[in-house]
Amino acid sequence: MKEFASLYKAIKLAEWEYSLFPLMDNSKTPPKGHHGYLEATRDQNIIMDWFQNNPDYNLGLRLDTSHLLVVDVDIHDSTKNGKDSLFELQRQGKTLPPDTYIEKTASGGLHYFFKYTGDKVRKVDNWPGIDLLTDFTVIAPSEIDGAAYAPLDGRTLADIQPAPNWLVDELSTNNLNGSSEYAYTTRLKKYTGRLIDELVSGASSGNRNVWLTKVTGQLFASGADPENVYRLVQMVNDNFIDYPLPENEVTKIYNSILKKEVKRIGRSPVGN
């Protein structure tokens, strides 16, 4: 990847009202201290700071705030070949418009981009080898192991077409790999499931302390070992809070909850 290629692409996409975030060089992982798509922005000054200091960063695109859907077609698993699934869908009269913006991925698969304004979802293997993404994706000119994400046929995001009706219906019928998602969540989503949803939803800078205090209490209530609770609280702070709290503030929150639990669990608070 040419030096500053991600910066130039990010600035151009920001001008088109798309939200971007940085990824580590040769990786799909956010840099340490960054929070992935949760901190995606259109602010060109912030983008300049990210990529001028790290010109080889890969580039991520937040999809929900950009009103986009990506159909991710993987071909590297012979038992779940996405192209075979595409052919099967075509036999059912369900085709993906070939004139939309399409990228070849670093692994040789395809990303079909469509305009979409529905709910945020991430359906992995919705069909064998095909994921439906409306939260975030890696985008060109990112590279993994020397292989680059690249547009097909010189297309740009200006070529993105609306998602076909059958695909919108697929995302709005609450199907989870062929079964009712509503029935699935009603049957299985107990305390742990609701807690996971709460963790991943994250918090903004305006309610960080209150939210993390609530989450810490919920983690204790799950029955997890206190040391594991502390590690999880740190991970949640680092990954799911916009502008994470300082470590000493996280420890203070943890200890305030632990003091209420210490008689029951028979352990001492974590020191600063």
Q: Can you read off the two tokens belonging to residue 87?
A: 């052919």
Burial per residue of 165-182, b for 16 or more beta-carbon CB atoms within 10 angstroms, e otherwise: eebbebbeeebeeeeeee
The answer to whether the beta carbons of residues 61 and 16 sit under 8 Å apart is no
Q: State the residue range of the domain holding 151.
A: 67-135+143-175
Number of domains the chain is built from: 3
pLDDT tens per residue across all 272 residues of the chain: 677 889 999 999 999 999 999 999 999 999 988 888 989 999 999 999 999 889 999 999 999 999 999 999 998 777 789 999 999 999 999 999 999 999 999 999 999 999 998 877 888 889 999 999 999 999 999 999 999 999 998 888 889 999 999 999 888 754 444 333 333 343 444 556 667 766 776 665 567 888 888 888 888 887 788 888 888 888 888 887 877 888 888 899 988 888 877 766 555 556 55
261 and 195 together in one domain: yes
76 and 164 together in one domain: yes
122 and 108 together in one domain: yes
In the block, tokens 């409306």 appear at: 134
Cα–Cα separations (whole angstroms), residue 169 to 119, 173, 186: 12, 6, 21
> Is there a domain that residue 270 lies in?
no
pTM of the model as a whole: 0.64
Separation of alpha carbons 63 and 49, rounded Å? 22
Separation of alpha carbons 94 and 91, rounded Å? 7
161 and 75 together in one domain: yes
20 and 85 together in one domain: no
